[in-house]
Amino acid sequence: MATVDFAVGIGGENGQGIASTGDLLARIFARRGLNLNAYNAYQSIIRGGHTFLTVRASDGPVRSMGDKVDVLIPLNQDSMDRHLRLMKAGSCVLYDGDMLKPGTPAAGVQLCPMPMKVLTKGNKLAANTAALGATLQMLGIESEPLETVIARQFKKKGDEVVAENVGVARAGYEYAAQNFKAFPFKAPKLPKPQAIVTGNQATAMGGVAAGVKFYAAYPMSPSTGVLMWMASHARDLGIMVRQVEDEIGVMNMVIGAGHSGCRAMCATSGGGFALMAEAIGMAAMIETPLVCVDVQRAGPATGVPTKTEQGDLWQVLGAGQGDYPRIIVAPSSQLDLFRTIPELFNLCDKYQCPGIVLADLLISEGTASVDPAELKFDGKIDRGELILPNGKSETQNPFGGYNDNAYLRYKNTASGISPRAVPGVPGHIFTAASDEHDEDGTLISDEFTNSSKRRMMVEKRARKMQGAAADIAPPKIVGPENAQATLVGWGSTEGVIREAAEKLAGDEGIVVNQLPIKWIVPFHAEEVMRILSRSNKVIIVENNYSGQFARYLRAETGFTAHGHIRKYDGEPFMPHHIIESVKEQLAGKQAISVPSHEVSV
Amino acid sequence: MSIPVETAPASATPPVQASQVTKDTYKGKIHPDWCPGCGDFSVLAALQTALFELGLKPHQVLVVSGIGCSSNLPGYINSYGMHTLHGRSLPVATGAKLGNHELKVICVGGDGDGYGIGANHFVHTMRRNLDLTYIVMDNQIYGLTTGQVSPTSVKGMKTKSSPYGSVENPINPIPMAIVGGATYVARAFSGKQKHMVEILKGAIQHNGFSLVDVFSPCVTYNKDNTYKWFNPRIKILEEQGHDPTDFNKAIERGYQWGEEIPVGLFWRRTNLPTLEELEPVLHDGQGPLAWRKLGLSDEQAHALIKELL
Ligand SMILES: Cc1ncc(C[n+]2csc(CCOP(=O)(O)OP(=O)(O)O)c2C)c(N)n1
Ligand code: SF4
């Protein structure tokens, strides 16, 4: 059980170094063994605007950004004005006393003005470092960890910069010791340090664990972090990384690399994904495995580039023309992204089809702590029925020789899976065609369209998904069997729904359980139906306007949910949004709740 | 080409055939369904002859196309093939080439495919100078969609989609490729197959991006740029003493159009490294990326985790 659970919020404008301050703080907490979640609410400009970063830490599980802020560090007046009114008794506000006017806080909020000019010796950019020093002091953390992470962060800028920042941090620390009231708790130090990882890093590392040898992308927030990680590690890890001219090119290049036999991957956001749609269908048609990650952001069109949403479900479901097999999965967290990608590669290799990951800004740009022991890079790699040369000479390969009709690349098997040779293997020559083709690859779409063969090939490809469904874990209820309501979510909302459910049980005595959905296609319609038909009240929680998952659930099962909690203002759910909505719905006041974000960030 | 990875499924072994390359080796199992007289027949024959004469084995060659009449070519040649989407042969080929850089990768398609819908990829593939050969069967019309205006249709040309005559200026692929970074830029004509064979052999052997734009008449939909129209105009650069290392001359001859239209090698440079040469990942002695062992060493995994602590 958690003994402490606190959050630090840093607000200011882009360009004030808020992300790196948050990173320092997260690293200090993680090194103490605390679990954490960090979420940066920012805007699509390089300078100015308003940015608010929340780092929440606890010795218990941390699955969301939480509901409250204990330490507010407003770096400008705007942040002070936006956030002070939300601060509750027991919290504190650290700010530049010479520059900022606090206004009137709620009773019990400790105002902590700091003489920043003196503490930073006039270096305006170091104010956040002084505030960090003060924060640690008030949380009962020694000053050394901060000094160590500062040294790490500024190492490249030279000893002088390190010394200056360490000096400022110490000054802030000592000033707090003399002038402010520390928190009644101390942030504990646990024996096992945690690692911190963003979802984009976890995605890239998941690809590496899967054996990705080819990665291509076109920069697009919030997916660009994957490209940057891959590019900086490419040479050490032996990966071909390419920034391509557009996302159409990205997907087609990934298909080429996948077809050659590489494990190949790309990540984008909704706009880029839209450009990839036709090619994803081709991957399914020529039966080339690959993995594509769609890091969703608020749409449509350019939408809100730096804000989160679960709005691409139907885009992904409907991507490309025609019916075709593909696997669609929505991981729930940073660690889940890391684990899911190798699993998805195994499935895509086995079933020779594209795999699509639905991530979102919340988990992909958000940071979480993970137990380093959970980051396993030696998982099972299963490439399915892949024919590589295996060092065999031309005549040793099965079906050796040329002009040989014996090898059927698209052999119509019971499972729908046909042994896959890659170009360069002697004796297996074929043409992979995006036109409909026969078992040997020759076109049946042109001169002599053959309806029975067309039907056979459609069914052959479709059969693969029956096998895939059996390989994928069906969803399970989390929480007590007997509950007043079942909260259904998909992908990244799993953590916040879990926290909301726990708080409802603890604080309000309302028992709800949770059904997190991860695998979207194939969908376990029967299992889901069995679970939901036993539930007293089914409420679907999702980060979009139209209830995209609710509609999908109805399409796949015929089940109509009783209630809906939706949010489409660009910000993620906080636990209290769900709690209040559930209460409202259990009281019969609403069937669709749209909680609003209390602060504009 | 080695590196054992996964085992191939056990299959019945049919009689092993000779792996000698003969003249018929490159014959595909399907007879082309192009219109009789279509210029693309000549391109197919020239490509088959070039591959044979270069002594390449079919499994070492990957022919990648887009969509169009001309893009049906991979089905008619006995080598590995990919018949992709309209305009996308170049990125698919790029991925395949980087995945297995030991393959000879040859892209084929039409002018609509390459200079229309695929133009963005065309520009960027050239500047990367990948070792690819790109053969464009340029008939100045959209054949497969039954005769619409194309990016290389001459201004004023009447087609089904430009019934009053095209008012747009055409693309001239030769100067475009020379400035765009292609390192072997040539033109051929379906009516001069022997010459085309030599141009193609040069392109396939060239280490870098080569463009061969081929006047390949569409006998069904282009009634303007016919064999009869081209024959008296075509002049072979090699017979005129053109120096393909002279940039200005190459551009100048590339723009020539009218009474005399040059074919042959306009431009070649050999002092620009290819993308493959500049990527150390391909030079660590492990062979093609596609055939390498998957997974990380323990040290690599530890180093990655350490970054997160
Ligand atoms: C995305 C997309 N748009 C349009 C088409 C229809 N289409 C097929 S081939 C073609 C143009 C063919 O012209 P070209 O590339 O010059 O080849 P040709 O048939 O003349 O050899 C078009 C527009 C398509 N297949 N895909
Ligand atoms: S329509 Fe034109 S390009 Fe197409 S096959 Fe016939 S002649 Fe050739």
Q: Among all ligands shown, which has an atom nearest to the Cα of B148?
A: 1
Q: What integer best gives the mean pLDDT of chain A?
A: 95
Residue B22 has a pLDDT of 84
Tell which residue, A361, A333, A339, has the closest CA to residue A62.
A333
- Residue A98, classified by CB atoms within 10 Å of its CB into exposed (0-12), middle (13-18) or buried (19+), is exposed
Q: What is the ipTM of this complex?
A: 0.95
Residue A421 has a pLDDT of 94
For domain A485-593, say whether CATH 3.40.50.920 is its number.
Answer: yes
Give residue-wise pLDDT tens across range A324-375: 999 999 999 999 999 999 999 999 999 999 999 999 999 999 999 999 999 9
pTM of the model: 0.96
Using only the alpha carbons of chain B, give its radius of gyration.
Answer: 21
Q: Where in chain A is the domain with CATH 3.40.920.10?
A: 5-179
Under the banding of pLDDT at 50, 70 and 90, the label for residue A394 is low
Looking at per-residue pLDDT, the higher value among A45 and B239 belongs to: B239
Q: Where are the domains of chain B?
A: 18-308
Q: Average pLDDT, stretch A221-249?
A: 98
Closest C-alpha residue for ligand 2 atom 2:
B218
One digit per residue, the tens of pLDDT, for chain B of length 309 reads 333 333 334 344 443 444 578 888 899 988 999 999 999 999 999 999 999 999 999 999 999 999 999 999 999 999 999 999 999 999 999 999 999 999 999 999 999 999 999 999 999 999 999 999 999 999 999 999 999 999 999 999 999 999 999 999 999 999 999 999 999 999 999 999 999 999 999 999 999 999 999 999 999 999 999 999 999 999 999 999 999 999 999 999 999 999 999 999 999 999 999 999 999 999 988 999 999 999 999 999 999 999 999
In the block, which residue shows the tokens 């092993």?
A: B16
> Identity (one letter) of the amino acid at B119?
A
Q: Which residue of B29, B57, B67, B82 is the best one to mutate when testing the A interface, meaning the one whose CB has the most A CBs within 10 A?
A: B82
- pLDDT above 90 (res A465): yes
Q: Average pLDDT, stretch A141-153?
A: 92
Tell which residue, A432, A420, A257, A254, has the closest CA to residue A352.
A420
Identify the bridge partners of residue A443 per DSSP, sorted by sequence position.
Answer: A437
Say yes or no: CB of residue B134 within 6 Å of ligand 1.
no
| Four-way CATH pick for A198-374: 3.40.50.970, 3.40.50.2300, 3.40.50.300, 3.40.50.280 | 3.40.50.970
Q: Give the ligand 1 atom nearest the CA of B40.
A: 21
Q: Give CA separation, A504 vs A272, A513, B119, B280, in Å.
A: 39, 10, 58, 56
> Identity (one letter) of the amino acid at A128?
N
Residue B19 has a pLDDT of 57
For β-strands B261-268 and B234-236, DSSP reports them as parallel
Cβ–Cβ contact A240 with B under 8 A:
yes
Q: Which of residues 408-437 of A touch B (CB under 8 A)?
A: 419, 422-435
For domain B18-308, say whether CATH 3.40.50.2000 is its number.
Answer: no
Residue A414 burial (CB count, 10 A): 8
For residue A517 the two structure tokens come to: 């959905």
Q: Give the ligand 1 atom nearest the CA of B116.
A: 15
Under the banding of pLDDT at 50, 70 and 90, the label for residue A124 is confident
Residue A447 has a pLDDT of 60
Q: Average pLDDT, stretch A43-59?
A: 87
Q: Where in chain A is the domain with CATH 3.40.50.970?
A: 198-374
Topology classification of domain A5-179: Pyruvate-ferredoxin Oxidoreductase; domain 3 (3.40.920)
Q: Where in chain A is the domain with CATH 3.40.50.920?
A: 485-593
Percent over 70 (pLDDT), chain A: 97
Lowest mean pLDDT of A17-21, A373-377, A397-401, name the range: A397-401
Residue A12 has a pLDDT of 94
User: Chain A residues with CB inside 8 Å of B304's CB?
Assistant: 205, 208, 233, 375, 377
Under the banding of pLDDT at 50, 70 and 90, the label for residue A395 is low
Q: Give the ligand 2 atom nearest the CA of B146.
A: 1
Under the banding of pLDDT at 50, 70 and 90, the label for residue A405 is low
Residue B127 burial (CB count, 10 A): 13
Q: Average pLDDT, stretch A495-518?
A: 97
Closest C-alpha residue for ligand 1 atom 6:
B145
Cα(B67) to centroid(ligand 1), Å: 5
Cβ–Cβ contact A211 with B under 8 A:
yes
Residue A48 has a pLDDT of 75
Q: Average pLDDT, stretch A243-248?
A: 98
